[in-house]
């Protein structure tokens, strides 16, 4: 089967002031990115659409699901590594004084709310479950930057979860079998977004 793994489109910034986990919607640009991604994937024989349970992933996957007449499946184990934060700021809006940047420079692993090892295991297990449930299919999986990066780390067997970051609506393709063999075919395809600047 084939996994088509897509990072969500650009979201808005959100600050809940400690009142709960931030879960922002897509920005206006993000809506266009999601539509362009759906147009590309609509012709690729996708048989199932999966999203994380976070709004930005759900809204990115919905246009493809609508084009294909598929009800998306939301999986909690695909949520982002820092899903418990009460603020969300798109990386391109952060400067050197931003709290997240300072925290990352002090301790990069602090961005894993549940701990790095637990995050890595839930990501690996989530993708294994998708493979097992969709034998012979082609599944579009809409998730998050660190979910894609850590799954890539699992596939390649390297030690650095930050070595490769995926852009908004960047596409990673993996051929997967129930035997456990995984073949990485591409990483961070973004040509479908060039017209958006």
The tens-digit pLDDT sequence of the chain (197 residues) is 999 999 999 999 998 887 879 999 999 999 999 999 999 999 999 999 999 999 999 999 999 999 999 999 999 999 999 988 888 888 888 777 778 777 777 888 888 988 999 999 999 999 999 999 999 999 999 999 999 999 999 999 988 999 888 999 999 999 998 788 999 999 999 999 999 97
Counting runs of H as helices and runs of E as strands, what totals does the chain give? Answer: 5, 8
Q: Where are the domains of the chain?
A: 2-191
β-pairing, 171-176 with 182-189? Answer: antiparallel
For residue 109, the model assigns a pLDDT of: 85
Helix (H/G/I), strand (E/B), else coil: 175: strand
In CATH, the number for domain 2-191 is 3.40.50.1240
User: Maximum CA pair distance of the chain?
Assistant: 48
For residue 103, the model assigns a pLDDT of: 79
| Dihedral sign of CA atoms 32, 140, 144, 166 in order | negative
């Amino acid at each position: 089967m084939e996994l088509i793994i897509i990072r969500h489109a650009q979201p808005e910034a959100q600050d809940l002031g400690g009142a709960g986990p931030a879960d922002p919607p897509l920005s206006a640009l993000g809506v266009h990115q999601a539509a362009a991604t759906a147009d590309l994937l609509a012709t690729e024989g996708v048989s199932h659409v999966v999203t994380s349970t976070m709004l930005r992933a759900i809204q990115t996957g919905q246009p493809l699901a609508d084009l294909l007449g598929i009800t998306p499946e939301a999986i909690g184990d695909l949520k982002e590594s820092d899903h418990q934060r009460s603020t969300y700021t798109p990386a391109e809006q952060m400067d050197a004084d931003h709290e997240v940047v300072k925290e990352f420079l002090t301790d990069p692993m602090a961005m894993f709310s549940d701990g790095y090892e637990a995050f890595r295991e839930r990501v690996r297990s989530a993708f294994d479950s998708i493979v097992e449930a969709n034998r012979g299919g082609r599944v579009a999986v809409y998730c998050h930057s660190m979910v894609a990066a850590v799954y890539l780390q699992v596939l390649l067997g390297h030690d650095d979860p930050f070595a490769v970051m995926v852009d908004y609506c960047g596409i990673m393709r993996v051929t997967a079998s129930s035997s456990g063999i995984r073949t990485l075919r591409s990483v961070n395809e973004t040509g479908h977004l060039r017209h958006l600047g």
